[in-house]
Structure 1
Amino acid sequence: MSHVTRNQPAGTPTWTDLDVPDVGRAKEFYGALFGWEFEPGENVYTLCRLRGRAVAGFRHVPASDSPATALPGLWCVYFATDDSEATAKRIADAGGTLTRGPVEIADQGLLSLATDPSGSRFGLWEGRALVGCETVNEPGSLLRNDLTSPDPGPAREFYPAVFDFTMDGNDDLPGADFTFLRRPDGHEIGGILGDPEAPSAAWQTLFEVADTDAAVERAVAAGGTAETPSDTIYVRMAKITDPFGNTFQVGARLVNKP
């Protein structure tokens, strides 16, 4: 497990949140699945906590039949930055689009939303009172983010240009079009997977669980749906869809794997 008490280095996935049409129903589902606690009330933005530490957020967005305002269907990953304005400029220079911000979120920090050249959505977080996820890499918290794209080339140019990432392949996956993304200090922050069958480019969110099969059972009992768990080289994983149609993955680390 990892408890985070200060801002992460620039380019690190540091926060994740989800647009939901019904915060109360979201609390019921994700509380049953992950054991999260929540800030009181039905606010526009709700912090999700694991044993008192912030791990995610819900943003209330009314459901709509209009495609222009439809919920995105995925958790949004936010990358740490220590200079929102400078990173926003690098996003634009690299061919991305800033769609919101930077905007002050009370005393919590500065938030920005953007899309990369292939249309994948992500955010920036410049932490102040809230450094981002205060717990990661333990059951009930964020474990990993990877970008899946039918055409990974633009993403492999964009993210190194914005965050100074380096890239290298994965010898454990010789048949996959996969590249690690690493910060300048060598720390792996995620990866980019080329998948010709992917419907569009998107960042995928993986939450850690202690037992994938048990998590699937909890998700279904709470009103979601799930695919049959399967073993990858690192984790036993399953794709879950919440009651609103948002998708994400859960995974339990396999014994004797790093």
Structure 2
Amino acid sequence: MQGTPCWVSLTTQDMNAAQDFYGEVLGWEFEPGLQGQGYVVAHADGEPVAGLVESTQSMGVRLPVAWTAYFVADSADAVASRVRERGGTVAVGPIAFGRGRMAWAADPVDAAFCIWEGPVDAGWYAGRGSGAAAWLELHTRDPFASALFYGEVFEWDAQGPEVIDVRYEHDRVILRAGGRTVAGLYGGVQQSPDPAIRPKWHVHFCRTDVDAAAARAAAAHGTVVTPPHDSALGRTATLRDPEGGLFHLSSAEEDAPS
């Protein structure tokens, strides 16, 4: 379904160190991806859950260490064009990448994301259990303005509420696809020169052992930004890997809050 999350990838400057860290913390195993040299795919319980790419080999552009969310596009060129028309930027692409085409983009407040046109693992984002992606959340300045941007870029409304449903619940805009909550857009991020608190898509991974995983992250030279605590997503924690890549853990496997 166009405009729904379909993948996440980590841009790293040290592939071996990143595999050691995430293997220890999340129990992932790795194998080379079809995208070519410098790209590996992480697996949890034999299922692909994320990609890792070395920034020095990422389409010739050295990118910062970060987790990036990918969204489905029927046409990467059409979506990229709408990104530009609505005040966003397209830094790279669309270009051929693996079995499809992709583009690196950013919304009008500079939150980065990727556009993906190509085969999608239908089970990737279906609450498959520990180690898989649980939830994506955009931390931004104005969630309504951001929802309007992404809705127009990916034509959420054109697909009908039974396919893509966007609504405001509690304190955020919620995106539901096929009856499942897949992402949220949360406001409150103010103007700041600090890159740690600028608008950004955040990735949450399922773990049934959040406290133990956070302890493993600290022991593996990562940083526990927010210690494990109870939340609407169950037991959660915010971590950084040794290179500064920010990610979250959540014990909620079946669905995000709605």
Q: Give the TM-score, by structure 2 length.
A: 0.81
Percent of residue pairs bearing the same amino acid type: 32
Q: Tell me the equivalent position of 2:145.
A: 154
Gaps of 5+ in 1: 1-8
Q: Tell me the equivalent position of 1:193.
A: 186
**Residues 1:182 and 1:95: Cα distance change in structure 2 (over 3 Å):** farther
Q: How far 1:114 moved relative to its partner?
A: 0.6
Q: How far 1:127 moved relative to its partner?
A: 2.1
8 Å Cα contact 2:134/2:252 also seen in 1: no
Q: How far 1:169 moved relative to its partner?
A: 1.8
One-letter code aligned to 1:209: R
Q: How far 1:74 moved relative to its partner?
A: 2.8
Gaps of 5+ in 2: 157-164
Deviating above 4 A after TM superposition, structure 1's stretches of 4 or more consecutive aligned residues are none
Q: Tell me the equivalent position of 1:57.
A: 51
Instruction: Quote the Cα distance in structure 1 between the aligned partners of 2:38 and 2:82.
Output: 30
One-letter code aligned to 1:193: Y
**2:214 maps to 1:222:** no
Within 5 Å, which residues of 2 pair with 1:115-134?
Answer: 115-128=106-119, 131=121, 134=124
Q: How far 1:253 moved relative to its partner?
A: 2.1
8 Å Cα contact 2:11/2:63 also seen in 1: no
Instruction: Quote the Cα distance in structure 2 between the aligned partners of 1:29 and 1:53.
Output: 19
Deviates more, 1:86-95 or 1:233-242: 86-95
One-letter code aligned to 1:221: A
* Root-mean-square deviation (Å): 2.8
Q: Tell me the equivalent position of 2:160.
A: none
- SS of residue matched to 1:75: strand
Within 5 Å, which residues of 2 pair with 1:61-72?
Answer: 61-62=55-56, 69=62, 71=64
One-letter code aligned to 1:158: F
Q: Give the TM-score, by structure 1 length.
A: 0.81
8 Å Cα contact 1:27/1:38 also seen in 2: yes
Q: Tell me the equivalent position of 1:248.
A: 247
Q: Tell me the equivalent position of 1:163.
A: 154
Instruction: Quote the Cα distance in structure 1 between the aligned partners of 2:242 and 2:132.
Output: 20
Q: Tell me the equivalent position of 1:5.
A: none
